[in-house]
Amino acid sequence: MSIRTNYINNFHLSFDTMLFKNPIRYAQSWEDHRVIECGLQVKKNDTIVTIISSGDNLLNLLRFEPAAMYGFDINPAQIYEVKLKIAAIEQLPYTEFLTFLGYTGTEQQRVKLFHLLTHHLDNNTYTFWNQHINLLGQGLAFQGGIERNFSFLRYFIRFFLAEEYIHYVTAQTRKERQVIFEKKLHRPILKALTKIFMNNRVMTHLLFQNRAIQYIPSSFNYNDSFWRKISHAFVDIGCINNPYLYWIFTGTVLEDRHYWQPYLQEKHYATLRQQTKKIRIFEQDLCVGLKELESDSIDAFYISDIFDWMSLDEMEKTLLEIVRVAKKNARIISFVLNYDKGIPQRLRKLVYINEIKSLELFAQERVGIYSKINLLEVKK
């Protein structure tokens, strides 16, 4: 996810830079692991390329026992995060791993566990976390910029849902959620306000970094996009057994760990500990880093939403490099935050979007911040 952190996420308001001053942008992954795994259909001994971000989906995919896992990110802080998580998996028992990340335990316990890990970290990773030990003490899994954005957003959710808040969080059916959505959120006054504040001028000059919207056409309607996403999240998805939206809405994790991300589940922990040496980390742009890999060597690519932050020329160069290293019929899963650029014309004989499967994947996703998911397949 965060290979594009150089460009600042244009969906989320920059609260993390304006208010929270946080070096970690993503402490958790906000791209549904079930969608990624279903789309890529990863098998044992596959070779996988991933965007690192928080490292969660890299670790989730590791349980399939790949031959090799290549993780890419241009944000050093996110690389320090995944290195810390890897060291914790290698050195700590499962219960202490959960405590260290903040899912259980106390601040004192987490700081003590960090000091136990110090000899297993490289100098840069140790120095970074020693300087930001307060984040570890508070529970790393909830301290990223995006997580703090969501915690800030939670106050507004509670305010607007008011007496329907508990009813919404526990709503079992789409029909129940639709009624609450129409009653509390999809109201004329709120639609009028978003129409005022989510026009192109405001979005371009007041709320978001210019680079973030540089490649979105001037005809793109931010207000319509916003309401499509809100409706999808509130009505189609919901909180029941959903580790993503449940935390966003409540600030707590689901009691049943069966629904947690796989790398956080005890049944996968031993496998992860056996597989960590297969991870190779690149602090590089994906297009540049892939040049170090052999042609026809990669089975699956999880590339987050990096195409949102690229010009068509940059996207074309990156896709060409992906095609070079990809095996025949390799799969690529790409998330679209706002505007879908499609596939550059000259690459359409090499890569195509499986539209039917892409729609199926989007219908399954449980986060609600994306406008589309594309499953690409290499045709060479």
Spell out the residues 6+ positions from residue 97 whose beta carbon is closer than 8 angstroms to its own.
88, 89, 269
Burial of 265 (0-12, 13-18, 19+ CB in 10 A): middle
Which residues, other chains included, contact 322 with Cβ-Cβ below 8 Å and sequence gap of 6+?
49, 286, 290, 298, 301, 303, 332, 351, 378
- Average pLDDT along the chain: 91
Give start-end residues of each CATH 3.40.50.150 domain in the chain: 2-90+259-378
- Is 60 exceeded by the pLDDT of residue 6? no
Q: Given the DSSP bridges, would you call strands 372-378 and 326-336 parallel, antiparallel or unpaired?
A: antiparallel
Q: Which of 199-203, 293-297, 300-304 has the lowest mean pLDDT?
A: 199-203
- What DSSP string runs through 183-203? HHTS-HHHHHHHHHHTSHHHI
pLDDT band of residue 41 (cuts 50, 70, 90) is very high
What pLDDT band is residue 219 in, cutting at 50, 70 and 90?
confident
Measured between alpha carbons, how far is 372 from 266 in angstroms, rounded to an integer?
Answer: 32
Q: What is the pLDDT of residues 97-129, one digit of tens each?
A: 999 999 999 999 999 999 999 999 999 999 999
Mean pLDDT of 139-161: 95
253 or 380, which is more confident? 253
Classify 2-90+259-378 by CATH class. alpha beta
3-state secondary structure of 299: strand
pLDDT in tens, 316-366: 999 999 999 999 999 999 999 989 999 999 999 999 999 999 999 999 999
**Cβ–Cβ contacts within 10 Å for residue 164, how many?**
17
Length in residues, the chain: 380
Residues 6+ apart with CB under 8 A from 348: none
Please tell me the predicted confidence (pLDDT) of residue 197. 82
Q: Quote the pLDDT of residue 218.
A: 80
Write down the H helix ranges in the chain: 15, 33-40, 56-62, 76-91, 94-101, 107-117, 123-131, 133-138, 145-161, 165-169, 174-184, 188-197, 200-202, 222-231, 243-250, 266-275, 286-289, 312-325, 355-364
Per the CB < 8 A criterion, the answer to whether 328 and 378 are in contact is: yes
Structure pTM? 0.91
Cβ(246)–Cβ(369) under 8 Å?
no
Q: How confident is the model at residue 9 (pLDDT cuts 50, 70, 90)?
A: very low
- A 10 A CB-CB count for 133 gives 14
Confidence of residue 55 (pLDDT cuts 50, 70, 90): very high
Of 293, 379, 374, 363, the C-alpha closest to 340 is 374
For 170-193, write each residue's pLDDT tens digit.
Answer: 999 999 999 999 999 999 999 999
Higher local confidence (pLDDT), 19 or 177: 177
